[in-house]
């Protein structure tokens, strides 16, 4: 089969690595990079580190409003699809790139394959929630990572073409953890070996686009004495500057540039706790058995909340501080498959 894979954001590059390896053993794949993440540290380095085949098409869309970004993607993806006529379009997750690829496929009557189907935060104010719902409802094959995701789809009367294959990000973690130990020197470079530190990531629009929420987050961080390491997303940096906040006012805060996946693995493994608003980082924290504090009101990964492996705090200043300072001893379980999701996806694809 000829598969057209649509990628655009950092988490999708990570997920694509094991799937592309499995897919290309038996099928032809072309990759479209929409350019949704266009900074070299947020994009190019992942293709190099994870040995993902270079994109056949790079759309260079860049940052814009949701409507313009999605519309521009659809226009260019449609041109590629009409020229290449793939047998199926493969999309990942819940970004604007995901929705654009799914809508193009649905309108041109080309089967859409959705990896990470069935996730729900039940918060439709999140653009990601709209993207994942719309994508699921137009997909021919839906690859769910957990039984919770399967049940979410059932609740929306989506049962045809649905399968629980496990989580492809777990595949990636298993494949890349050993590689990270060999290749990454970030803990030594930042003098973090043997040190207690918090790893911070903040990028969700629901947080970064709200001045009061960002003020509460930064104030909470200032009340925590532990060293805080923050690989800062370019968009978050821009927003903090726009609001006039001075990061030097936050004690024991170490801002670094966005890091590659192998470096991120080492930071996640080495951290005392992770404080994030990212869906993917919540899971990786669980995989590496690093306690997590999530600055959101809901999570798609409800399984991680068991035993306080992951604690939801929203952007409440007091809750953030309490959760960071709280001592927890979670019991971690195998909730996301056995690390063979990519192979199962290819098996299901061949039934199409």
Give the C-alpha distances (Å, rounded to integers) separating 231 from 109, 177, 179, 273, 276. Answer: 41, 19, 21, 15, 11
CATH architecture for segment(s) 2-167+337-349: 3-Layer(aba) Sandwich (3.40)
Would you tell me how many other CB atoms lie within 10 Å of the CB of residue 129? 18
Alpha carbon of 322 to those of 19, 285, 325: distances in Å? 39, 19, 5
Q: Where in the sequence of the chain do the CATH 3.40.50.2000 domains occur?
A: 2-167+337-349, 176-325
pLDDT at 186: 97
pLDDT beneath 50: ranges in the chain: none
Residue 38: the pLDDT is 59
Please tell me the predicted confidence (pLDDT) of residue 178. Answer: 87
- How far CA 13 is from CA of 7, 10, 50, 70, in Å, comes to 7, 5, 8, 19
Which of the 8 DSSP states describes residue 200?
Answer: E
Q: What is the CATH number of domain 176-325?
A: 3.40.50.2000
203 has catalytic annotation? yes
The pTM score is 0.84
Classify the C-alpha dihedral 290-14-343-336 as positive or negative: positive
The Cα–Cα gap between 185 and 110 comes to: 44
Q: Given the residues 37, 114, 203, 233, select the one marked as catalytic.
A: 203
Note the pLDDT of residue 62. 79
Identify the DSSP state of 274.
E
Angle between helical axes of 10-23 and 279-287 (0-180°, round to 10): 60
Q: What is the per-residue pLDDT for 261?
A: 87
Please name which of 214, 197, 201, 220 lies closest in space to residue 278, comparing C-alpha atoms. 201
Q: Looking at residue 63, what is its pLDDT?
A: 79
pLDDT of residue 53: 83
CA 201 to mean position of chain CA atoms = 12
CA distance 252 to 225: 7
């Amino acid at each position: 089969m000829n598969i057209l894979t649509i990628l655009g954001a950092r988490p999708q590059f990570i997920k694509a690595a094991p799937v592309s390896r499995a897919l290309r053993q038996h099928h032809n794949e072309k990759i479209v990079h929409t350019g949704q993440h266009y900074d070299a540290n947020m994009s190019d380095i992942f293709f190099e580190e994870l040995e993902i085949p270079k994109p056949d098409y790079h759309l260079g869309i860049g940052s814009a409003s949701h409507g313009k970004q999605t519309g521009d993607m659809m226009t260019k993806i449609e041109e590629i699809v009409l020229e290449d006529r793939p047998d199926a379009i493969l999309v990942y997750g819940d970004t604007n790139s995901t929705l654009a690829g799914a809508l193009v496929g649905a309108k041109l009557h080309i089967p859409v394959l959705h990896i990470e189907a069935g996730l729900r935060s039940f918060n439709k104010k999140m653009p990601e929630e709209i993207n994942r719902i719309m994508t699921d409802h137009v997909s021919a094959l839906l690859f769910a990572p957990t039984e919770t995701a399967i049940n979410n789809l059932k609740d929306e009367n989506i049962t045809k073409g649905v399968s629980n294959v496990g989580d492809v990000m777990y595949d990636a973690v298993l494949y890349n953890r050993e590689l990270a130990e060999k290749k990454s020197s970030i803990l030594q470079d930042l003098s973090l070996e043997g040190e207690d530190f918090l790893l911070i990531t903040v990028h969700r629009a629901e947080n970064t686009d709200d001045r009061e929420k960002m003020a509460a987050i930064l104030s909470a961080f200032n009340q925590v004495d532990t060293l805080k390491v923050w690989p800062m997303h370019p968009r978050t940096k821009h927003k903090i500057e726009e609001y006039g906040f001075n990061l030097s006012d936050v004690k024991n805060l170490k801002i670094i540039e966005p890091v590659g996946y192998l470096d991120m693995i080492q930071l996640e493994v080495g951290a005392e706790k992770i404080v994030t608003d990212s869906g993917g980082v919540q899971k990786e924290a669980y995989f590496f058995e690093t306690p997590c504090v999530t600055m959101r009101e809901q999570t798609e990964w409800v399984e991680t909340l068991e035993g306080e492996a992951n604690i939801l705090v929203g952007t409440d200043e007091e809750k953030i501080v309490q959760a960071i300072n709280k001592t927890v001893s979670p019991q971690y379980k195998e909730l996301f498959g056995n690390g063979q999701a990519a192979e199962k996806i290819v098996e299901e694809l061949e039934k199409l």
